[in-house]
Amino acid sequence: MSEDVLGLADQVVDLVRRLAGPQAEAEVVVTRADLALTRFANSFVHQNVAESGVSVRLRVHVDGRTAAGGGSLVTPEGLAALVERVLAAARLCPPDPAWPGLTPRSPVPAAPAWDEATAFAEPGERAERVRAFVDAVGGLEAAGYCRTGYRAAAFANSTGHSAQGVAAAAAMDGIARTGGADGVARLHVDRLADLDGAALGARAAAKARAAVDPVELPPGRYEVVLEPAAVADLLHNFAMWGFNGKRHAERQSFAEPGVAQFDPAVTLVDDPLAGSGLPFDVEGTGRRALTLVDAGTTVAVAHDRRSGAAAGVGSTGHASPEAATFGPMPANLRLSGPAPAGGDGAAAHAPAGGYRAQHAAGAGHGDGAGHGDGAGHGSPAPAGPLVDDATADLVAGMERGLLVSDLWYTRVLDTKSLVITGLTRNGVWLVEGGVPVRAVQNFRFTESYPRALGPGAVLGIGRRAVRQPDRFDGVWWDAPALRLASWNFTGGASG
């Protein structure tokens, strides 16, 4: 299938040459996508949807002017109409003196392995995971989704550069509810076979049961342990607002390369090929791991060709169709701490002994990158809010504070300092003497995310990351639990 889309991309480049002449610059991305989603609510599957289609994105630079457009008609007539529309638009655009030029012929990394069974999974296979989740919650109300996705893409431009790749992935996101209390479990994997609905359901149910009858605590600054689902929101906002080359150039980002802005325990790497993913961006630049923060010091931001040329550093492989508006941003961030003593860092993602570790790390049933899938096959049912020992170890060191499962409805108040307000959800617990003693009502918070992870503020990083799904296909966050010295809770969820 990748060969088919490469042929379409070459056709479009040839059409531009014929209609606009040999001096016209053109780049084309053709993507075949098969996305499927099985939703459940009230413990029943209520919707199965699937979408399959081919999209073509064309960008041209003609007579000093640049325009882009897309379409889904891949007949000869449809492709010709697309080229004519984009060339007409270019003639109406203002001059583009900052045009960075096309990606020259250059090597592109090999695409990671992809799983055909996941790419073309049937609805019944997703429904099996849903049934396992629902059965595991033990009579609690369950809701969520299981999804699979496949993308085959090809790139070609008028310099002769081309690239192609295939990716597939699966994800599950579910809650269990009892007495008005919710528990959550989420996971993104490369293989549907590694998605254990029963283990995720058991995790969600244990947290829901532990979250009933919450008490109200006064707002203020508390020491916290943020679980992976909550940490994923930090990574998402760091990517969108902080390590974004366009926002950095516009001085809207907190990022200052060369400055120790984070605690020395923090390392952030955007690693798009750590899972099944396309090995190039929409400009044809190869995608590779990019270290953004190294032992607390910010060292880079993400760039496409335009922002990279302006900064004098070149593209980092982060171009996207939306980058002209929203900027180039990381989409596969991994947060990690220092390597364990005597290790090389790999142990930060390796399973450890005991049930809780198996439940978090999948007892060997990971996504191929050593990230836990929450499997825990054959283990006893989890109980209480601490369902993995990586989080439990962080909580054990906290004299008094809060264990926070999840953050949502987060909104940016100030982009430069990345002050964000939002709400907790899916479980908060008061911790005393290293033990969660009771559930707490949800809080509203207002916090600067970089400050919360600043020098001296990180008291611990979980030794395993759990890969969290995002709303968008191809985006995920490798998030361990985090113990932070202070988090600013400004009120209850109602105000």
pLDDT at 253 over 50: yes
Contact 131, 197 (CB under 8 A): yes
126: left (phi over 0), alpha (psi -120 to 50) or beta: alpha
CA atoms within 13 A on the CB side of 76: 1
Determine the pLDDT at residue 495: 64
- Helices and strands (H, E) in the chain, number of each type: 12, 19
Distance CA 243, CA 327 (A): 10
pLDDT band for position 6 (50/70/90)?
Answer: confident
Question: Strands 220-226 and 400-414: what pairing?
Answer: parallel
Determine the pLDDT at residue 1: 52
Residue type, 147: R
What is the sign of the dihedral through the CA atoms of 446, 451, 456 and 458?
A: positive
pLDDT at 97 over 80: yes
Distance CA 16, CA 58 (A): 10
19 CB neighbour count, 10 Å cutoff: 15
Q: ∠ at Cα 420 (419, 424), nearest 5°?
A: 145
- Max Cα–Cα distance, the chain, nearest Å: 74
pLDDT at 378 over 70: no
- As a whole-number percent, the residues of the chain with pLDDT over 90 amount to 87
Please, is 349 exposed, middle or buried when counting C-beta atoms within 10 Å of its C-beta (0-12, 13-18, 19+)? Answer: buried
Determine the pLDDT at residue 339: 64
Please, is 253 exposed, middle or buried when counting C-beta atoms within 10 Å of its C-beta (0-12, 13-18, 19+)? Answer: buried
Q: Give the N- to C-terminal CA distance of the chain in Å, as an integer.
A: 52
In 3-state terms, the chain is what percent helix, strand and coil (to 5)? 25, 35, 35
pLDDT band for position 375 (50/70/90)?
Answer: very low
Determine the pLDDT at residue 355: 25
Mean pLDDT confidence for 8-27? 96
Rg of the chain over all Cα atoms, to the nearest angstrom: 23
Structure tokens at 473: 């296909």
Beta strands in 8-107 (DSSP E): 25-41, 44-62, 65-71
Contact 298, 292 (CB under 8 A): yes
**In whole angstroms, how far apart are CA 457 and each of 262, 338, 448, 486?**
8, 15, 12, 7
Contact 388, 232 (CB under 8 A): no
Helix (H) or strand (E) run with residue 461 in it: strand 458-461
Determine the pLDDT at residue 423: 97
69 - beta bridge partners?
58
pLDDT at 350 over 60: no
Structure tokens at 419: 């002050």
Task: Pick the range with the lowest mean pLDDT from 141-145, 379-383, 461-465.
Answer: 379-383
CA atoms within 13 A on the CB side of 228: 36
Give the residue from 250, 206, 233, 238 showing the smallest Cα distance to 381.
206
pLDDT band for position 348 (50/70/90)?
Answer: very low
Mean pLDDT (the chain, rounded): 91
**In whole angstroms, how far apart are CA 400 and each of 187, 429, 437?**
29, 11, 10
Tens of pLDDT, residues 383-407 = 689 988 999 999 999 999 999 999 9
Helix (H) or strand (E) run with residue 358 in it: helix 355-361
Determine the pLDDT at residue 244: 97
Tens of pLDDT, residues 299-330 = 999 999 999 999 999 999 999 999 999 999 99
138 CB neighbour count, 10 Å cutoff: 15
Contact 171, 355 (CB under 8 A): no
Structure tokens at 34: 């098969």
Beta strands in 237-389 (DSSP E): 267-270, 290-294, 297-298, 332-336
Tens of pLDDT, residues 423-451 = 999 999 999 999 999 999 999 999 999 99
Determine the pLDDT at residue 380: 55
Helix (H) or strand (E) run with residue 478 in it: strand 476-479
Contact 303, 315 (CB under 8 A): yes
What is the sign of the dihedral through the CA atoms of 79, 84, 87 and 88?
A: negative
Give the residue from 378, 386, 363 showing the smallest Cα distance to 435.
386
78 CB neighbour count, 10 Å cutoff: 13
What 8-state DSSP symbol labels residue 81? Answer: H
pLDDT band for position 262 (50/70/90)?
Answer: very high
Distance CA 5, CA 54 (A): 9
Give the residue from 323, 335, 329, 328 showing the smallest Cα distance to 234.
335
The verdict on pTM exceeding 0.85 is yes
